[in-house]
Amino acid sequence: MDPVLFNTMLQPGALKDKVIVVTGGGTGLGKSMSQMFLQLGAKVVITSRKLEVLEQTAQELQTLTNGEVFAVACDVRDYRQVEELLQKSVERFGRVDALLNNAAGNFVSPTERLSPKAFDVVVDIVLKGTYNCVLTFGKYWIDNKIPATVMSIVTTYAETGSAFV
């Protein structure tokens, strides 16, 4: 991370001790945002379906930031797994302050060649997965009167139906 760029953003410590759950946190945008959250003082729970990738990412992020990272395998399409994700996160850090819905399913294929099953996978991860996470974490925050933040990264194909989903 470029320290000059970093210093022009939020103040150091802006997220001190906040606990943020990042779905799709093992790679790409989720990994990069997790790194920034850690640099700003947050504790981060990264999740995806692939535990090996998560553990490698957690190790890398801890080394880069000296922050606290907890890797939890979770398929956001499965409501029970999302409930377990919340439970494990609260057990580890005592609470959750924010949720970043970043999990996505993609197939490099023109839309006309995308099978109905592949389309279902994409929609289930992006739409149903986001719903499962917001519902689970939202109930927890409401029941415990915890002010919280949700950010959802959505894809343009949800709006445009573009090729190469």
Domain ranges, ordered by start, for the chain: 14-154
d(CA 100, CA 87): 17
pLDDT category at 161 given cuts 50, 70, 90 is low
Predicted confidence (pLDDT) per residue in 100-132, tens digit: 999 988 777 777 888 889 888 888 888 999 999
Torsional sign, CA 5, 8, 12, 15: negative
Q: Does domain 14-154 have CATH number 2.50.20.10?
A: no
d(CA 119, CA 32): 27
Q: How far is CA 30 from CA 24, 26, 44, 165, in A?
A: 6, 7, 11, 18
Percent of the chain at pLDDT > 70 equals 88
Taking each helix axis from N to C terminus, what angle separates 28-39 and 51-65, rounded to the nearest 10 degrees? 30
pLDDT category at 156 given cuts 50, 70, 90 is low
What average pLDDT does the chain have? Answer: 90
Q: Which residues are catalytic?
A: 157
**Rama region for 26: left / alpha / beta (φ>0; ψ in -120 to 50; rest):** alpha
d(CA 23, CA 118): 20
pLDDT category at 162 given cuts 50, 70, 90 is low
* Residue 73 host element (H or E): strand 69-73
Predicted confidence (pLDDT) per residue in 5-64, tens digit: 555 478 888 999 999 999 999 999 999 999 999 999 999 999 999 999 999 999 999 999
d(CA 11, CA 40): 8
